[in-house]
Structure 1
Amino acid sequence: MSWEAEIAELRRREDMARQMGGPDKIKRQHDGGKLTVRERIACLLDSGSFHEVGAIAGRARYGTDGSLEEFSPTNFVFGRGKIDGRPMVVGGDDFTVRGGAADAAIWQKQVHAEQMARELRIPMVRLVDGTGGGGSVKSLEMEGRTYVPLMPGWEHVVANLSTVPVVALALGSVAGLGAARTVSSHFSVMVEGISQMFIAGPPVVARTGVEMTKEELGGTEIHERAGAIDLAVASEEEAFAAARRFLSYLPPSVYDLPQRIVPQDDPNRREEKLLSIVPRDRRRVYKTREIVEMTVDAGSFMEMGRLYGRSVITGLARLDGWPVAILASDPYHYGGGWTADAAHKITRFVDLAETFHLPVVHFVDIPGFLIGPEAEQSGTIRHGARALTAVYQATVPWCSIIMRKAFGVAGAGHSNHTRLRYRYAWPSGDWGSLPLEGGIEAAYRADLDKADDRAALLKEIEARLNQVRSPFRTAEAFLVEEIIDPRDTRPLLCEFANLAAPLRTAGPPSFGYRP
């Protein structure tokens, strides 16, 4: 006697689960410009690689004879799959079943997904499309009671941040715990036009007297500029591609090292444009992203958080095939000065590099911290000190390229000076405790106030000091190790990447990663 009848029943239930919320709800999802959770998983993973777990979990209704008459699957689909041949855990909300709300879910499935990623030491990808929390207030009537809030399984969410790469894609209107799940990641993405994210949505906010649309309250532009997400893209397919690309730079877990790919670019490539890209006029700006693109492996730079903390550029790249973390100044915003937002951005990014053993390359043009009332009101010095702490706590290999300015406390944060100062300066280097342009007025105030011709004396003092601000004088005292031809930057950075590779050490970071 075989078990064919039971296998047939299993297949029937699996087929019912694949119907999700039914044809009408699926059509509504498509009419809203959105894929279903199963379509998303198929687009994200290597073809045919998805192994679902808990497919037939849900709510059933049985007849008097014990036969299954009706079945509604839980609105969370998860399992294992592969991206570019590498194992992953993927879990996604099914918005066609009760809008992804937890009152139609079995929360143990989400917890199991997070625990699976942690204990198998493989990356986690969350496809978030709903609240994922307590559900609607209808659950109060359904359950006949309320409860004190708790977050089952959140310990796994927290532990995963220090164990495996976590990517979260917000693919609809995401609120409450769903929003928390999105931002509790190493890389988060929203899709323009279909994604919104809120602590609470417009109907709840309206009770405070503020009427807003979903886009006005929590659209991509809001969260990209606020730094709540790392990237906004134009389509779900672009979101999946971004997730795949981000994960390609990272190891499966902290117990492994980021892997080199076969180099596709000449490590000795020298770009002529680098010789003149930094203007002689220190008040003029230049495009740091072009410098990054010209020095890393061609096409390998992936920027994160472009619209947040804009005086600092962060992203991942490769040097001679090795994955590295790129930190760079952008003089187009506050001259590259560190703001409170920039400091937050630096802290989180350096912690990412430390967690996943990525060497850091820092392209430096830092005039100091932002000054003025706005800087004081935003607590810039505290947040800046936290960024400095991240730099000094980092143990990964670190190389700095001083392109122009390095002034004050923030400028000192271009690297940890107590470690080997693996750095290079360009001839355009300009450094000190204060820039001359602002420091002369403070240091020579008494002389200037007594002068018959203040402007002439100011010009004379500036000329004298300009003679000693030459980077060659600093190099004479070995206070900067090497001044290089900017065109040699890529060959030297590729050498750094190859020297750094065997120094990387697998294992948990000394402190936990925080989103």
Structure 2
Amino acid sequence: MTSSWQAELDELARRQQLAARMGGEDKLKRHRDNGKLPVRERIAALVDEGSFIEVGGLAGSGQYDERGQLKDFTPSNVLMGRAQVEQRPVVVVGDDFTVRGGANDGAVGDKLIVAEQMAHDLRVPLVRLVDGTGGGGSVKNIELKGHTLLPKLKAWPYIARNLATVPVVSLGLGSVAGMGAARVSAAHYSLMVKDISQVFVAGPPVVERTGQKIGKNELGGSHIHTRNGVVDDEVASEAEGFARARRFLSYLPSSVHGLPPRSGVGREQASDPSLLRNAIPKNPRAVYKVRSIVESVVDAGSFMELGRHWGRAIATGLARLDGWPVAVIASDPYHYGGAFDRLSAEKYTRFIDFAELFHLPVINFVDIPGFRIGLEAEQEGVMRAGVRALTALSQTTVPWCSFILRKAFGVAAASHQHPERFAFRYAWPSAQWGSLPIEGGLEVAYKAEIEAAADPEAKRTEIEERVRGLTSPFRSAEAFVVEDIVDPADTRKLAVEFANLAAPLRVAGVTRFPYRP
């Protein structure tokens, strides 16, 4: 049956068809030749099949003839809408680089704001596919508008509000600068595609005016920003990035108003727990692979590391224990022996803020000899970052469980658990702790005695052996300095008990302080 509104329905279908062309065949081909998927295919690869419902698909710039009839149509540079990921609702917003290089034209600003509003008000995660959009549009816009724009981040209040409310994932999928770069970094989890995506404050043409002539990957590639903490991770392909985004969201509630969902499958242990008895070398200077310890304790295959390439004195990530999602922190002795440098302290702060925001109990595997020392550490201001980390810890309310694997010295080691609330705390027999390591403290505490001895080195050795005999964790356990020393083989059993006791203690709702990206 022909509708009386058939002309309007035909007009709608025509406009939808024109919008689906995106930037046109030539630009789409160029986009693919650069190793990138068009935005509509990106969305299809990310979300559950057939679940995407576009919002604002008719926004753009129409070209009309003298009679006011539509001749052609250039769609907006941004696509957005609702979809599902693993059968859970999300909002997806993606830049279309094939239309004006993703510059801020064609209702981009308004659509970005509406996408942020939609995620916040529906209390569902937001996934950004970022490929080019800036904040004020291209330079060509000056001629088109007849004036320049005073920078005003109209979208930022919505971005900041979402960081305190719903999980936000940003995928850097091309060269992004200015506001586009900010949108990548303003997320709970962000990633870049190696050799294809770049993030800059300003790109090479602008930077060249400062006298630095440098290629875009050398200026802002993933090898830079996944090492300095601007972006969390790098992947080898867009497909890998979409898979990591889906996996990240699986550990989290849809918003702070819910609780992280328990998995109904995959609750078995990865390996023989007795192997943990040999995980820590007898030589206190020898390194070991802490990720193997983590993977032996959590549910098999459940550990998803976040930010592996920055703040490397600690490994952080998401995992499950008996199906319950938990946040994992683990000292990595391969980097400064596990001592906190500035980036590690900043990573620690951001991660426990994240755990607090989404009501994730924390499992902490501790081997901290202190803050990094020396001239470079002092110059980078490690103490300021360390103080922020300790302050963030004192603000947490989520359940906490620490396993002291080896060292716990100085102010930095105080970060192993909240100083006032009850926390589960266990030490392995390999643990040792104190205000500072014996090796360094002897030189200060016994300086006069050592220097006055006929054989200073022999005296130093004598004192060290005497004092070291008092540093056994069993002596501390006698004084109830530590609650329990445990067989490493029992670590998973104890961690699972913690996760099950912690689960009913989690409280949904807005946190006392907003998330700091």
Q: Is TM > 0.5 for Structure 1 vs Structure 2?
A: yes
In the TM superposition, what is the alpha-carbon distance from 1:281 to its structure 2 partner? Answer: 1.1
Q: Tell me, what secondary structure is at the counterpart of 1:363?
A: strand
In structure 2, the residue matched to 1:470 is: 472
Q: Distance in 1 between matches of 2:359 and 2:149?
A: 42
> How many angstroms does 1:5 deviate by?
2.1
Pairing 1:381–2:383 present: yes
- Seen in structure 2, the aligned counterparts of structure 1 residues 88 and 268 have a Cα distance that, compared at 3 Å, is closer
Q: Describe the shift of the 1:268–1:168 C-alpha distance in structure 2 as closer, same or farther (beyond 3 A).
A: closer
| Equivalent position of 2:427 in the other structure | 425
2:130 maps to 128
Q: CA deviation at 1:388?
A: 0.6
Q: Greater shift after overlay, 258-267 or 105-114?
A: 258-267
How many Å apart are 1:313 and its aligned residue? 0.7
Letter in 2 for 1:183: S
Select the residue among 3, 10, 13 that pairs with 1:11.
13
Aligned counterpart, 2:302: 300
Identity of aligned pairs, percent?
Answer: 60
Which residue of structure 2 lines up, in the alignment, with residue 329 of structure 1? 331
Unaligned segments of structure 2, at least 5 residues: none
Q: Secondary structure at the match of 1:292?
A: helix
> How much does 1:137 deviate?
1.3
Matched with 2:282 is 280
Shift of 1:316: 0.4
Aligned to 2:348: 346
Q: Counterpart of 1:315 in 2: which secondary structure?
A: strand
Aligned equivalent of 2:77, options 75, 79, 89 = 75
Output one character per residue of 1:7-53: Cα deviation in whole Å (capped at 9) or x when no partner: 12111111110000110010010111100000000000000000000
Quote the Cα distance in structure 1 between the aligned partners of 2:257 and 2:117: 16
Match of 1:35 in 2: 37
Q: What SS does structure 2 have at the residue aligned with 1:89?
A: strand
For the residue of structure 2 that corresponds to 1:434, the secondary structure is coil
Matched-pair contact (CA < 8 Å) for 2:260–2:325:
yes
CA gap 1:356/1:375 in 2 versus in 1, 3 angstroms: same
The residue aligned with 1:106 is: 108
Question: What is the CA–CA distance in structure 2 between the aligned matches of 1:366 and 1:352, rounded to whole Å?
Answer: 22
| Higher mean C-alpha displacement, 437-446 vs 42-51 | 437-446
The one of 95, 99, 117 equivalent to 2:119 is: 117
Per-residue CA distance 1:354-413 (angstroms, 9 max, x = gap): 000000000000001111111111111111010011111110000000000111111111
- More divergent stretch after superposition (416-425 vs 383-392): 416-425
Deviates more, 1:267-276 or 1:4-13: 267-276
Asked if the contact 2:270/2:301 (under 8 Å) is kept, the reply is no
Whether the 8 Å CA contact 2:270–2:297 is kept in 1: the answer is no
Please name the residue that 1:2 is paired with. Answer: 4
Corresponding residue number in structure 2 for 1:507 = 509
Deviations 1:128-165 (A, max 9, x none): 00033212211111111112110122111000000000
User: Which residue matches 1:242?
Assistant: 244
1: distance between equivalents of 2:359 and 2:267? 23
Deviations 1:275-311 (A, max 9, x none): 0110111111111011001100111001111111110
Give the whole-Å Cα distance in 2 for the aligned partners of 1:116 and 1:79.
9
For the residue of structure 2 that corresponds to 1:391, the secondary structure is: helix
Query: Given that residues 59 and 106 in structure 2 are in contact (C-alpha distance below 8 angstroms), is that contact kept between their aligned partners in structure 1?
Result: no
Contact kept in structure 2, 1:161 and 1:185, CA below 8 Å: yes
Instruction: Check the 8 A contact 1:98/1:104 in 2, yes or no.
Output: no
Q: Aligned partners of 1:266 and 1:103: how far apart in 2?
A: 51
Alignment deviations for residues 215-265 of structure 1 (CA, whole Å, 9 cap, x no partner): 110001000111111110000000000100000000000000000011423
Question: How many positions carry a matched residue from both structures?
Answer: 515
Whether contact under 8 Å (1:270, 1:491) holds in the other structure is no
> 2:153 is matched with which residue?
151
The reply to whether residue 192 of structure 1 matches residue 194 of structure 2 is: yes
RMSD value, Cα: 1.1
> Do the aligned residues in 2 keep the contact of 1:269 with 1:490 (CA within 8 Å)?
no
C-alpha deviation, 1:268, in angstroms? 11
Distance in 1, matches of 2:460 and 2:321, equals 46
TM-score (norm 1): 0.99
* Aligned-partner Cα distance in 1 for 2:383–2:62: 58
Distance 1:72 1:268, change over 3 A: closer
Report if the CA contact (8 A) 1:225-1:308 is conserved: yes
Structure 1: 5+ residue stretches without partners:
none
